[in-house]
């Protein structure tokens, strides 16, 4: 983390707003007489980041300048080349915010005190306890880190220089090694159950493989032939059904023709009989002679009736 800008107001000795710029400076020293507020600058950074400071904890009311009712801190910093800005104000957690610099614009990341602290821990890669033990050591507690428990120092250093990634890589490597070991043992067990791979056994298996390949080719050819025969059988069956339908149609046509012939013969006989009757009638009419005298007599007789 590299500090860029610190603005404080109403914070311990800094009743009026003070702006401190760090940009462009690789090394700087904060000097001044006792009580001038040197430690307050570091406390302000810590409070802006985590919402608490070592000497008062979360009782930040004690940090408000005498005669003032509120205090505020704005801290701008960079981490791995990315710019961030955090602001806190007391009282009033609603004014707490964390922003990120994107394309020269400040983009909000969090606006609640707890969320801001959680995001800061993720950005810096350390919590409040680690920060105050390894980065900003409180007055009189510098030797606590040097004389502290070896396990705690190792944990802090591991977190600071990123040894966690190597620890995770080691754990992953051990897990994969165990996985491969288990797999190798499984394969070894399976191999032990198999017959010995002697040259004679290999030759025998290869001959068997070739024989099976030939059998497969023969079966494939037979299957192809059977498929062709099946197609022919289906075609023959369809033709046979068509012939049966045609034969049925012929039989039906012959029956209809026979019925029509019988009807025609009956009609012909009727015509012959009627023709003969007409001829007999005409012959009978030819035999009858007209008698005018008889006609007049019959007519007169009719008139007398």
132-141 pLDDT tens trace: 876 765 555 5
Percent of the chain surpassing pLDDT 90: 25
The predicted structure's pLDDT at residue 137: 59
- Fold topology of 2-124: Rossmann fold (3.40.50)
Distance CA 148, CA 164 (A): 21
Would you say the pTM of this structure is higher than 0.85?
A: no
**C-alpha 230 chain-centroid distance:** 46
Q: Which residues pair with 7 in a beta bridge?
A: 19, 74
Check: CB of residue 49 under 8 Å from CB of residue 124.
Answer: yes
The predicted structure's pLDDT at residue 105: 94
The predicted structure's pLDDT at residue 157: 60
Distance CA 243, CA 229 (A): 21
Give per-residue pLDDT as tens, 2-28: 999 999 999 988 999 999 998 877 787
The predicted structure's pLDDT at residue 165: 61
Task: Tell me which long-range contacts 53-60 makes (C-beta under 8 A, separation of at least 24).
Answer: 54/132, 54/138, 54/141, 55/138, 60/90
Q: Dihedral of CA 43/46/49/51: which sign?
A: negative
Instruction: Report residue 284: phi and psi, to 5°.
Output: -65, -40
Q: Mean pLDDT in each 10-residue stretch from start to end of the chain (305 residues)?
A: 94 91 81 79 93 83 90 95 94 84 94 93 89 66 60 62 66 83 81 69 83 88 87 85 85 86 86 85 71 76 72
**Residue 169 class from Cβ within 10 Å (0-12 exposed, 13-18 middle, 19+ buried)?**
exposed
């Amino acid at each position: 983390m590299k500090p860029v800008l610190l603005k404080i107001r109403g914070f311990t000795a800094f009743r009026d707003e003070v702006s401190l710029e760090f940009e462009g400076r690789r090394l700087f020293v904060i000097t001044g007489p006792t009580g001038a507020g040197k430690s307050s600058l570091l406390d302000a950074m810590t409070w802006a980041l985590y919402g608490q400071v070592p000497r008062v904890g979360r009782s930040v009311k004690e940090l408000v300048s005498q005669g003032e009712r509120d205090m505020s801190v704005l801290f701008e910093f960079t981490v791995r080349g990315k710019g961030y800005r955090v602001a806190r104000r007391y009282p009033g957690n609603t004014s707490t915010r964390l922003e990120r610099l994107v394309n020269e614009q400040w983009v909000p990341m969090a606006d609640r005190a707890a969320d801001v602290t959680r995001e800061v821990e993720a950005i810096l890669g350390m919590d409040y306890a680690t920060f105050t033990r390894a980065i900003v050591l409180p007055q009189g507690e510098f030797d606590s880190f040097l004389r502290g428990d070896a396990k705690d120092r190792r944990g802090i250093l591991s977190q600071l220089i990123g040894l966690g990634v190597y620890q995770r890589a080691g754990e992953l490597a051990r897990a994969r090694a165990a996985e491969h070991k288990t797999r190798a043992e499984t394969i070894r067990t399976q191999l032990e159950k198999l017959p010995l791979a002697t040259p004679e056994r290999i030759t025998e298996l290869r001959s068997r493989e070739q024989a099976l390949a030939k059998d497969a080719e023969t079966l494939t050819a037979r299957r192809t032939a059977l498929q062709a025969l099946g197609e022919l059988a289906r075609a023959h069956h369809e033709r046979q059904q068509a012939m049966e339908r045609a034969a049925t149609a012929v039989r039906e046509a012959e029956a209809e023709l026979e019925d029509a012939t019988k009807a025609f013969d009956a009609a012909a006989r009727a015509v012959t009989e009627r023709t003969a009757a007409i001829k007999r009638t005409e012959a009978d009419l030819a035999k009858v002679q007209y008698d005018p005298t008889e006609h007049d007599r019959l007519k007169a007789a009719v008139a007398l009736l």
